[in-house]
Chains A and B, each alone.
Chain A
């Protein structure tokens, strides 16, 4: 039941935030913070007290199985394991960061904004816990629509275009997934006579004779659009650039992870044999994402666009790791997801705060900010070098393990992927150079981070360092889940 509450609290909090704003009884920002904190509390207290159950040869901390639409074999199944727990933790934490980062940015209808924000989080929380395919699809759509509003209503100058592009890409790929899902259920029904959307029932499905490869591809494309992998990535730079700060933080920090999560949770375990056949292609796509994202990032002058392309590059490592099919690759992929959640959220929050201060995102109009904003400079320097994979910080652990694992699986592809390590400093350091070093074209004083921003960045820095120096607890939490794909 706790699982339902985890999601419900966010939904209710969203409605409350809206109402509070309409009735002017309370500040929706505080309601949002309180909601997320309560949810975090529930999650953590639950994780401390939970005992595990084993279903389908895998350990789950908690499951909930209620009939929903029995006629079509649709259940309301929620379950949580280590991976889902980590993802939920990331979601709630970055939700907090998102609220903080947009603290002063949102001027119009703040209540509706926080409603959308919390509902997106609720959708994501649902995605990370739903284990009925239909329910998963439901939450997949739920997280999309409020996000669309966040971009379309509170975005920047080109918001409508970006929002619609985001919507169409996700929707079209979601349709593919739905088709693949229904077909999978249908073929399973033909084979076993049991009509069920349940993950556990489909996991062991023997689908001889069905066009399983195409079904796998349907799932794969839906998740890779979200990830995003080249060449399905072009919604991302626009959406990230145009979204308000909180939107970018959530998009980069959390929404991209749902794609990776889908690959790990559904695409690979449901179609193990096809995935093995498909692995070289998927890894190649990952490598292309790494290199291509890095190259395009370097060319950008819009800072949010640059960070958006680096996301593509980093998520390429996740794709590479997932399809390496060994524990280094898997754990590295999850570490990369967490690490990228921190660094990209921090960098987007920074970009948002710069835009709020000087009303431009164009790096050609910046320069020499270190002098007037040393705290900002140091913090951004920290996250930039984290992003380029400095050992001792979280991103390194992820990328190193991914490459280590991928090298065992496919040496040549990995050698090319390693070129990404050379490109990463090229784009990361150029950010520092253009914004903080040199002399400003127009002499302007930028105000340094406020204590709210320092607090928010400080939390993320601590986590990045913690994960970089002592990732073992996280990797152990993840460990069991990923065994399944390693067959």
Chain B
């Protein structure tokens, strides 16, 4: 079974090729699109069963497909590497991917570009699988760029409107900034360690580099750049909210469950390197808490249902980065998994709401949908509970682990923990704000769930179950990561605060958005409130800052030089020559007498030169 590993990315890829090249009718396109990922999921399941059945110490499998390129001392092979970490990611990608594909059949039903959508989706799944299975960093980079491309294609899927195209390009270019940093990191690693094979690289980094020395710090920081771009962390986070321009299943699959977690995966995959660079790890933790806090506040004031979820995704990714930063590796991956469950659920549920609302996304135009859309409502409640990490939901287990590990972290763990708990409080507020505004209150619409079929409801129900009980899954990562010295265990006040935070958040939201809505209006009305609201709404002004600092100067430079300033130098030469030409052609008067005079003068000069040459030359 393990030898079939290569088939897992191959099936979605074949699906992509079929859909892209053959122009299949819609029904068949749906079968191919969903079926290819379904087969990949089944294969993954088989592989997982066999793999986990092996003794824990042997849980590594490598499959070399072909030699990709080899130049001098550099070699990159097309080889897949399976270990428990990759397996967890594979399960998430194919499992959740399959559910979302199934959902998409319903969601994209009326879209004329149905098969193009599935083609892109299949390509994405294939690329994401290559990313997590890649044995070397070049292959990982292939997947990394591949998912970025699919993200671009799918954000700009509805290409008629220029805003979508803009959002798509923004996503691609902002992540490309991170990718370039990562590429430079690869060059650095290769230059000093002579290989890009991940396992050898980690081995050799540990052997050759001292902890905290310059090179590992530099290399880790460069890789971190890539992770920040992909996972939408500060300061490369601005693309993710705009990415919501794509169809909702995309937001669920790419911008919540899988692609954006690639940064977390990268750091976890190269954790040996990061452990050699404690400074960088600390930066990871700090960036994590900053992002979770900033995007939490931003989510508080958004009005677009998908943007709220987008900012909450950034915030949850912040938790994962925090976990990585404090060395709680398995907790990060655990949260990655539970987050994939509940955030996919929330996005898909929001997609269902959006369909039922005929593509209305403003939450304040919704309201009282609780009775009208029961499936969506319960999905939202369950997803929201898990997102807010109420006890016994899946989110609780993973987030609790992270907060626990943070609390005992040696280096200002208290502060990090406090901020993270504040973040949890805010998570509670914005999640319940969303639910209260959309599903409770006055009934403003005539929506109903008749337009959504079983292929939409079924994935929702399965994800509900996973969101509730997914926390009980034991992630088999014990041998991948080093064991934590201090077992994270919160006790006493810290524990109580950690558990209480989301409840307090829900309470506040209840008060402001359900119990006494006039209270929130009052806060929003005073000048400080207005200012804060505007500031938060804009995502803390990052877009504005980048526009002023980077985009505008670049655009100015580009426009100023449209005519290519270098060419003006050659134009100058041409102009000089033309000037000379004009001067000389002035002597061509066409009058014989002038010419005769010229001849005479010439004779005089030449004779004179001959006569007085001694005085001239010698």
Contact = CB atoms under 8 A, between A and B. Distances in A.
Interface of A: 230-231, 233-234, 237, 292, 295-296, 298-300, 326-328, 331-332, 368, 370, 378, 385, 390-392, 396-397, 400-401, 403-405, 407-408, 411, 414-415, 418-419, 421-422, 425-426, 429-430, 433, 436-439, 469-472, 475, 479
B358 interface: no
26 contacts: A231-B566, A231-B569, A233-B566, A234-B570, A295-B558, A295-B561, A299-B562, A300-B562, A326-B72, A331-B71, A331-B72, A370-B159, A390-B145, A391-B145, A392-B142, A401-B71, A404-B190, A408-B187, A408-B191, A411-B188, A411-B191, A414-B187, A421-B176, A421-B179, A426-B173, A470-B66
Contact of A327 (B72, B173, B186): B72
Contacts of B187: 403-404, 407-408, 411, 414
A422 B172 CA distance: 10
A479 B72 CA distance: 9
A288 B564 CA distance: 13
Contacts of A237: 564
Contacts of B70: 472, 475
Contacts of A415: 184
B6 to A, nearest CB: 14
A472 B191 contact: no
Given A414-B187, A422-B176, A429-B152, A328 B566 contact: no
Contacts of A368: 159-160
B145 A328 contact: no
Q: Which 6 pairs, one residue from A and one from B, show the smallest C-beta to C-beta distance?
A: A327-B72, A391-B142, A407-B187, A437-B159, A299-B562, A234-B567
Given A385-B149, A429-B152, A404 B177 contact: no
Contacts of A433: 162, 165-166, 169
B156 A437 contact: yes
Given A392-B142, A475-B71, A296 B173 contact: no
Contacts of A421: 176, 179-180, 183
B594 interface: no
A114 B558 CA distance: 39
Given A295-B558, A295-B561, A425-B173, A436 B159 contact: yes
A437 B67 contact: no
B511 interface: no
Contact of A299 (B144, B162, B190, B559): B559
A404 B180 CA distance: 13
Given A391-B138, A391-B145, A404-B190, A438 B180 contact: no
B74 interface: yes
Contacts of B141: 391
Contact of B180 (A292, A328, A419, A470): A419
Contact of B146 (A332, A378, A392, A419): A392
Contacts of B173: 422, 425-426, 429
Interface residues of B, number: 51
Contacts of A438: 159-162, 165
Contacts of B176: 421-422, 425
A397 B69 contact: yes
B544 interface: no
A415 B141 CA distance: 18
B575 interface: no
B546 interface: no
Contacts of B177: 422
A407 B66 CA distance: 26
B167 to A, nearest CB: 11
B67 A472 contact: yes
A368 B161 CA distance: 10
A429 B173 CA distance: 9
Nearest to A421: B180
A422 B180 contact: yes
Given A407-B188, A407-B191, A426-B173, 15 more contacts: A234-B566, A295-B558, A299-B559, A378-B20, A400-B138, A403-B187, A411-B188, A414-B187, A418-B180, A425-B169, A425-B172, A436-B159, A439-B160, A439-B162, A469-B78
B443 to A, nearest CB: 37
B61 interface: no
B164 to A, nearest CB: 8
A276 to B, nearest CB: 18
Given A422-B180, A429-B169, A437-B159, A401 B146 contact: no
Given A378-B20, A418-B180, A421-B183, A471 B160 contact: no
Contacts of B179: 421
Contacts of A425: 169, 172-173, 176
Contacts of B168: 429
Nearest to B21: A378
A205 B316 CA distance: 67
Given A233-B566, A295-B558, A422-B180, A475 B165 contact: no
Nearest to A381: B153
A421 B175 CA distance: 11
B72 A328 contact: yes
Nearest to B153: A381
B72 A470 contact: no
A401 B165 CA distance: 31
A180 B152 CA distance: 50
A471 B67 CA distance: 9
A296 B160 contact: no
Nearest to B139: A391
Contacts of A298: 558
Nearest to B568: A234
Contacts of B183: 400, 403, 418, 421
A470 B557 CA distance: 39
Contacts of B172: 425, 429
A275 to B, nearest CB: 19
A109 B78 CA distance: 51
Nearest to B142: A391
Q: Which of B156, B168, B564 has the most CB of A within 10 A?
A: B564
Interface string B66-108: 1111111010001000000000000000000000000000000
A295 to B, nearest CB: 6
Given A404-B74, A436-B159, A471 B69 contact: yes
A445 to B, nearest CB: 15
Contacts of B184: 407, 414-415, 418
A150 B15 CA distance: 45
A327 B71 CA distance: 6
Nearest to A332: B71
Contacts of A396: 142, 145
B150 to A, nearest CB: 11
A361 to B, nearest CB: 15
Nearest to B175: A425
B71 A230 contact: no
Contact of B71 (A299, A328, A411): A328
Nearest to A367: B162
Given A234-B566, A407-B187, A425-B176, A299 B69 contact: no
Contacts of B191: 407-408, 411
A296 B145 CA distance: 25
B369 to A, nearest CB: 33
Given A391-B142, A392-B146, A472-B70, A230 B566 contact: yes
A469 B569 CA distance: 43
B259 to A, nearest CB: 15
Contacts of A300: 562
B564 A234 contact: yes
Between B68, B71, B142, B188, the greatest number of chain A beta carbons within 10 A of the residue's beta carbon is seen for B71
Choose among A234, A419, A439, A471 the residue with the greatest number of B CB atoms under 10 Å from its CB. Answer: A234
A421 B226 CA distance: 13
A438 B164 CA distance: 9
A392 B180 CA distance: 17
A230 B558 CA distance: 16
Nearest to B169: A429
A331 B72 CA distance: 9
A425 B179 CA distance: 12
